[in-house]
Every structure is written in C-alpha cells, then in structure tokens.
A and B are shown apart, each in its own frame.
Chain A
Amino acid sequence: QKEVEQNSGPLSVPEGAIASLNCTYSDRVSQSFFWYRQYSGKSPELIMSIYSNGDKEDGRFTAQLNKASQYVSLLIRDSQPSDSATYLCAVSIIQGAQKLVFGQGTRLTINP
C-alpha cells in the first residue's frame, strides 16, 4: 500500500461547478496535511494546510480532514479555468525531522 494515494484522474469539471479531490494516507500518526497546486512545468504551490479534524475554508477552497478514516479532501467551489492544474496531496511524517510524503497527484481540467 502506498503511503499517500490520490484518485488517479484526470478529473474534468465544468466551469462554475465544484471540483472534489480526495486523498488517503496510511500513517496514523501523521498530524499535518497539505494541498499543493502545480501548473505544468512549474513547482508546487501551497494552497491549503489542515491539522485538525473537520473543515477549513479559504476563499473558494475547503480542505476536509478525517483522521479516523485517514482521509483528506479538497473542494474547489465555483471552479475557474485557471484552476486547471495538478493537485498534490502531501502528508507530513516526523521521524526526527519533518518530511512530506506526496501522492501521485490528480490532474484537474476545468472546461469553459
């Protein structure tokens, strides 16, 4: 089992709709979870961090965390063509030092 798994995609969503991205992780002691957005040919950009169970909202983005189910998700409301990118789920694992373990990413396309 991979440490962090994301739905493989690609995911295609019409403009203005809600995009839902999912991620599961295997390490029960993980405490920090991050979503990064990566445009083609660019580096990952941090868009959300979440540390506690429940929802965290920032503008059009909502991150949801359920530690009991080892599940984290990202919702993008009112999707825009500029949201088209690969979204990476990252889980923080601390073994003396913090390292991020990434999923393989989900490619999202917003169709005008």
Chain B
Amino acid sequence: DAGVTQSPTHLIKTRGQQVTLRCSPKSGHDTVSWYQQALGQGPQFIFQYYEEEERQRGNFPDRFSGHQFPNYSSELNVNALLLGDSALYLCASSLGSDRYNQPQHFGDGTRLSIL
C-alpha cells in the first residue's frame, strides 16, 4: 500500500525563479492538501484540491498555484520565488474533501531552498 509520495526531495532555486512540486496521494485517497512548514513552526495550509478543483485556500499570495489531475495526483507551482519561500513543502492526502473524520496523511516533503 503506497503512501503519499512527493518529488523532488530537495530543490535549490534562486530568487525570481519558478518551481513545480509534485505529489501522488495514498492509494484510495482523492483529496490533496498542500502545506508550507518554516523551520521551527507548524505547517501552514496553502490550499486543497478535490475533483480537480481548488476547494479552499489559505493565506498565501497568487504566486502559489496548483493543479490536480484525473488520477488525483497534484502539483504545487510557485512563481517569482522569494527568500521567504524557503521551507519544507508538505503534501497530505485524505478521502473526501469535507469529511471531518478523515485524517490527512503526509508525504516526506520537498525541502525548497531559495538563494
């Protein structure tokens, strides 16, 4: 039973560049949520995708965008990278977008460093 997989594991970019992170949900899950975790902080919700649509968005600028594919996998895109975008980006999958009793399971994350 494959868990949540993310790629790449590490990425180094420079300011102003663009980046795409990828996530495959756990088998049987149809919902993907993305979180940003700065060093020493708890994860912050970016957005959630379900049925190929963005269902909810956190307090992140439009530079952060995403996509969900018919096989439920997802991408997170960040444009015009800033130094402050350096963080661990976590993908979490779950079953059903609004089911309160469905836990979210995290992948290993992508560590993004901006120089």
* A contact set with B: CB distance below 8 Å: 4, 31-32, 34, 36, 42-46, 49, 51, 88, 90, 92, 94-105
- Please name the residue on chain B nearest to A104 by beta carbon: B42
Contact assessment for A94 and B42 in the assembled complex, using a CB-CB cutoff below 8 Å: no
* B66 contacts the other chain (CB 8 A): no
* B102 contacts the other chain (CB 8 A): yes
- Kindly list chain A residues whose C-beta atoms are within 8 Å of the C-beta of B43: 44, 88, 100, 102
- Please name the residue on chain A nearest to B48 by beta carbon: A97
Contact assessment for B101 and A32 in the assembled complex, using a CB-CB cutoff below 8 Å: yes
Contact assessment for A98 and B100 in the assembled complex, using a CB-CB cutoff below 8 Å: yes
- Chain A interface, DSSP helix/strand/loop, else mixed: strand
Contact with A along B78-89 (1 / 0, CB 8 A): 000000000010
Assembly CA distance A92 to B101 (angstroms): 9
Assembly CA distance A33 to B80 (angstroms): 35
Assembly CA distance A15 to B92 (angstroms): 32
Contact assessment for B100 and A44 in the assembled complex, using a CB-CB cutoff below 8 Å: no
Assembly CA distance A42 to B65 (angstroms): 24
Q: How many contacts A-B (CB < 8 Å)?
A: 76
Q: In the complex, which of the residues B41, B44, B56, B100 contacts A32, with contact meaning CB atoms closer than 8 Å?
A: B100
A-facing residues in B30-85 (Cβ within 8 Å): 31, 33, 35, 40-45, 48, 50, 55-56, 58
- Kindly list chain B residues whose C-beta atoms are within 8 Å of the C-beta of A32: 100-101, 103
Top 3 closest pairs, chain A to chain B, by CB: A102-B42, A97-B55, A97-B56
- Kindly list chain A residues whose C-beta atoms are within 8 Å of the C-beta of B106: 36, 43-46
- Please name the residue on chain A nearest to B54 by beta carbon: A97
Contact with A along B91-109 (1 / 0, CB 8 A): 0101001111111111111
